[in-house]
Amino acid sequence: MLDLSVINAMFPPDLPEPADWERRFGPRALPDGAEVTRFAPSPTGHLHIGGLYTATVARALARQSGGVHVLRVEDTDRSRRVAGAAEEFSRLLGAFGLAPDEGGVAGYGAWGPYLQSERREIYLSHVRELL
């Protein structure tokens, strides 16, 4: 275990505790066996047939199990980002009848944020706790 002064130098000491995140993102009220699936494209290009296939399978599993299908955009690779690609995902998934129950750039749903870059504080809290 690292000394607390070293941890405080690496991570802000005022980060929420992991338990705070667990309270905020508590268990979902879903039936037994329900699956929460995620389609997580990177906005480094346009939606392609492989992405549509992956979204189709994920959404079907969520529907068959009584679960929830989430769109979380993996937008952390800023240097390769294609302008408008993240917004295009939600529009095209909807056009193909694959609209997610939660997520996307608009961020609808109680378990957001749904842009990976906006979840940074959650991850830092957990890493700080592990150290």
Q: Tell me how crowded residue 113 is: count the other CB atoms within 10 A of its CB.
A: 16
- Cβ–Cβ under 8 Å, residues 86 and 43: yes
E runs forming strands in 20-112: 36-39, 68-71, 102-103
pLDDT of residue 107: 78
Q: What domains, with CATH codes, occur in the chain?
A: 4-130 (3.40.50.620)
pLDDT of residue 25: 92
Q: Which residues of the chain have pLDDT under 50?
A: none
pTM of the entire predicted model: 0.84
Single-letter amino acid, residue 87: E
pLDDT of residue 104: 84
- Cβ–Cβ under 8 Å, residues 116 and 74: yes
In sequence order, what are the residues at sequence separation of 6 or more whose Cβ sits closer than 8 angstroms to the Cβ of residue 1? 131
